[in-house]
Amino acid sequence: MVRLYTHPDHLGHVTPPGHPEQVARLHAVDRGLHGMALDRIACPLGDLADIHRCHPPAHVETLRRAVPTGGWTALDGDTFLSPGSWNAALRAVGGICAAVDAVVTQGGRAFVAARPPGHHAEATRAMGFCLFGTVAIGAMRALDHHGLSRVAVLDFDVHHGNGTQDLLWHEARARFVSSHEWPLYPGTGASSETGAHGQITNLPLRAGSGGAEMRAAWQPVLDDLARWQPELILLSAGFDAHRADPLANLTWREADFAWLTRAICDLAQECCGGRVVSTLEGGYDLDALADSVAAHVEELKRAPG
């Protein structure tokens, strides 16, 4: 059974009216997962020691102090703090770390339905709706706490995971792969960006492209990862490459998210006993988000374990 990590505190991260990264996104995820047999687990509060593996303590404390007692604090034109943002972000970190702990020690798969998202947060910069680099923190938890030596972080959000790339740039034990529309926010993610050890692979996709182009980009990378033999696979599961999403211009459908999830689960079954931890990133059309998350988690459930 797939473990589902979430918490009501994620609803306490409230953005200004009209902001695409809104509380209603989690309601859409709940709608998509309604009726599924999942092992539902409350995200614990994250440990600062895990956050400090990726973000300097002074930066973390600056963010904590910026949390307002009412209304919003704008960190940039896209990224806001409300009174509940600190606990929501800590729950996101706690959720992925708990999911990593469970999957590494007990096997299986997990989906972390948390917000705010994380893959744009750089070491000393919150941006792109993101406060902490959640998936990178999970990767470092697996590497440093559990002693793994090969962890793959795969990102299919429509926007490049610049934060994850920044946080893992010098980490030879992690492979990071990102497919994303190019050019698009945040402006990074060229194929020439390969990391300090050549361990980063960027897969730029042209506006208007769809499932066929996605499959052609991902299949050789997955074949290469099979030779590398990761011990754990982490996913930045963004669903804003969907054809209905208002913030981008790719034309994926639910079947495309299902195909990619299935291919990744097949890789995990071959390499690491099926161990996959997925965490929610983008996806801003609420109906498309609900349907795409459902397709994604159904494939996590269907994969042999």
- Predicted model pTM: 0.98
* Closest to 288 measured CA to CA, from 112, 13, 31, 79: 31
Pairing of strands 73-74, 80-81: antiparallel
- Name the active-site residue from 120, 160, 180, 296: 120
Q: Tokens 């459908």 map to which residue?
A: 253
Report the distance separating Cα 127 and Cα 187, nearest Å.
Answer: 13
Residue 57 phi/psi, 5-degree rounding, is -55, -40
Active-site residue flag, 170: no
Tell me the angle at which helices 24-33 and 286-302 cross, rounded to the nearest 10 degrees: 40
* Closest to 2 measured CA to CA, from 297, 205, 252, 284: 297
Going along the chain from its start, the domains and CATH numbers come out as: 3-302 (3.40.800.20)
Please report, in tens digits, the pLDDT of each residue of the chain (305 residues total): 899 999 999 999 999 999 999 999 999 999 999 999 999 999 999 999 999 999 999 999 999 999 999 999 999 999 999 999 999 999 999 999 999 999 999 999 999 999 999 999 999 999 999 999 999 999 999 999 999 999 999 999 999 999 999 999 999 999 999 999 999 999 999 999 999 999 999 999 999 999 999 999 999 999 999 999 999 999 999 999 999 999 999 999 999 999 999 999 999 999 999 999 999 999 999 999 999 999 999 999 996 64
